[in-house]
Chain A
Amino acid sequence: MAKSENEMTWKDLEIGNIVTETGTARQYESGTWRSQRPTYDFTRCIKCGLCALYCPEGCIGPNKEGHFEADLFYCKGCGICAKECWPRVIKMVEEVE
Chain B
Amino acid sequence: MAKRIGIEVSIAVADAVKMCNADVIAAYPITPQTHIVEHLAELVANGELDAEYIPVESEHSAMSACLGSAAAGARTFTATSSQGLALMIEVLYVASGMRLPVVMALANRALSAPLSIWGDHSDMMSIRDTGWIQIVSENGQAAMDNTIIAFRVAEDPRVLLPTIIHLDGFNLTHVVEPIVLPEQADVDRYLPKNKYPLPLNPDKPVTMGGFAAPAIFMEAKWALEVNLRNSKKVILQAWDEFEKIFGRKYSPVEKYYSDGAKVLLMTMGAAGETASVAVDEMRAEGMDLGQIRLRLWRPFPFEELKEAVKDADVLIVMDRAMSFGGPAGPLASEVKSALYSQAKKPKVVSYIISLGGRDTTIAGYKDIVKKGIDIAAKGSRNEYEIYGVRE
Query: Which A residues are closer than 8 A to B by beta carbons?
Result: 5-6, 8-20, 22, 24
Contacts and interface: CB of A to CB of B under 8 A. Distances in A.
Contacts of B212: 17
Contacts of A15: 99, 160, 197-198
Contacts of A12: 219
B166 to A, nearest CB: 24
A88 B216 CA distance: 41
B97 A17 contact: yes
A9 B100 CA distance: 21
Interface residues of B, number: 22
B389 interface: no
B219 A24 contact: no
A31 to B, nearest CB: 15
26 contacts: A5-B216, A8-B216, A10-B220, A10-B222, A10-B223, A10-B226, A11-B223, A12-B219, A13-B216, A13-B219, A13-B220, A14-B198, A15-B198, A17-B98, A17-B210, A17-B212, A17-B216, A17-B223, A18-B98, A18-B198, A18-B206, A18-B207, A19-B206, A19-B207, A22-B205, A24-B207
Contacts of A19: 206-207, 210
A9 B206 CA distance: 20
B185 interface: no
Nearest to A4: B215
Nearest to A22: B205
A6 B215 contact: yes
Contacts of A8: 216, 219
Interface in B88-117: 97-100
Contacts of B1: none
Contacts of B98: 16-18
Contacts of B99: 15-16
Contacts of B215: 5-6
What 3 A-B pairs have minimum CB-CB distances, sorted nearest first? Answer: A16-B99, A19-B207, A16-B98
Contacts of A16: 97-100, 160, 208-209
A24 B213 CA distance: 13
A86 B334 CA distance: 64
A15 B223 CA distance: 9
Nearest to B197: A15
Contacts of A18: 98, 198, 206-208
With a 10 A CB-CB cut-off, give which of A12, A16, A18, A19 has the most chain B CB atoms.
Answer: A16
Given A17-B97, A17-B220, 20 more contacts: A5-B215, A8-B216, A10-B219, A10-B226, A12-B219, A13-B219, A13-B220, A14-B198, A15-B99, A16-B98, A16-B99, A16-B160, A16-B208, A16-B209, A17-B98, A17-B216, A18-B98, A19-B207, A19-B210, A24-B207
B295 to A, nearest CB: 27
Contact of B206 (A5, A10, A11, A20): A20
B327 to A, nearest CB: 31
A24 B97 CA distance: 20
Interface in B166-225: 197-198, 205-210, 212-213, 215-216, 219-220, 222-223
Contacts of B197: 15
Contacts of B220: 10, 13, 17
A97 B219 CA distance: 32
Contacts of A6: 215
Contacts of B206: 18-20, 22
